[in-house]
Amino acid sequence: MADPKNAIGEALSLPKLKLDQAVKNSEIKAGKHRFGPDNKQYFLYFKPSGAIKRRIIVYIHGGGWMAGSPNRYKYIGKVFSDMGYHTVSLGYRHTPLYKYPAQAEDVFTAYVKAIAFLQKSGVRTDRVVVVGSSAGGHLGGILVYDKEMQQKYGINPNVFKGLVSLGGILSFGVEYAPTTQLLIESLFEKGYDRKRAEPISLVDGTEKAKVLCIHAMNDPISEIENEAKFVEHVNSLRPKTADSMIIRDENVFHSNLVMGVFFDDPETSDPLKVLFRWVESLPD
């Protein structure tokens, strides 16, 4: 269980993050594409600048499955597009009004619509890297590993070359802080089989996607053990498929990693340098 002092550090980090977020987002424009009647059912497209990279970034935001939006995290999409990637940021409906699998259904629908949009624009879409922050790491894992949903939505899983989880929740089988446990309880209807919504239970070793987990040692929201178990499990099925980076800075908690790291310069930030080098190292 996380040290209670880390929860205080997390809370104290939020005001500055929200201010930086508002300032950054005010300068950014992105193409907005709706795929459903709910105001959360849309995706944003960020056109790459400079030398265009051959991989597509699919970003999924966090917020405990009950908050957040692509608009709130426009600055993250722009970081990837500034690095030369065609980037789409997927929205989804929130709990507690909408229970799982509504979130997964929206992510899959948004993904299919976004890929169709890119293809219509002449973009090659067979090299996809999924990046998710916090709850978005969980939903990114569902997108990459849920074979039943992939079949339902006509998705070829071989296009997924990589999954990056930043403080994501990839296993429910660890002891989380009470606030996180409440978020997980709120996500599901009573009696729902959570293994159907747990990335670690959906991995079977047939996947070609590689994995990078970036996690803060002092994360009070997403227990670090959950990603450690996920990395170990993936590598037990396919050795050397999953990598991890543990941030040991005592002033880095949850939000100032999963959303705050994208305020940093990709040329000088260690986590971002690792992330982008890893993406470029992925096999075709």
Task: Write the CATH number for 57.
Answer: 3.40.50.1820
The number of residues making up the chain comes to: 284
Residue 248: domain span = 4-281
HSE-up of 191 (CA within 13 Å, CB side)? 0
DSSP-derived secondary structure letter, 25: H
Helix orientation angle between 4-25 and 74-82, rounded to the nearest 10 degrees: 70
Number of other residues whose CB lies within 10 A of the CB of residue 229: 16
pTM of structure: 0.97
DSSP-derived secondary structure letter, 130: E
Per-residue pLDDT of the chain (284 residues; tens, 9 = 90+): 557 789 999 999 999 999 999 999 998 999 999 999 999 999 999 999 988 999 999 999 999 999 999 999 999 999 999 999 999 999 999 999 999 999 999 999 999 999 999 999 999 999 999 999 999 999 999 999 999 999 999 999 999 999 999 999 999 999 999 999 999 999 999 999 999 999 999 999 999 999 999 999 999 999 999 999 999 999 999 999 999 999 999 999 999 999 999 999 999 999 999 999 999 999 88
Domain count, the chain: 1
Number of other residues whose CB lies within 10 A of the CB of residue 235: 15
Separation of alpha carbons 7 and 254, rounded Å = 9
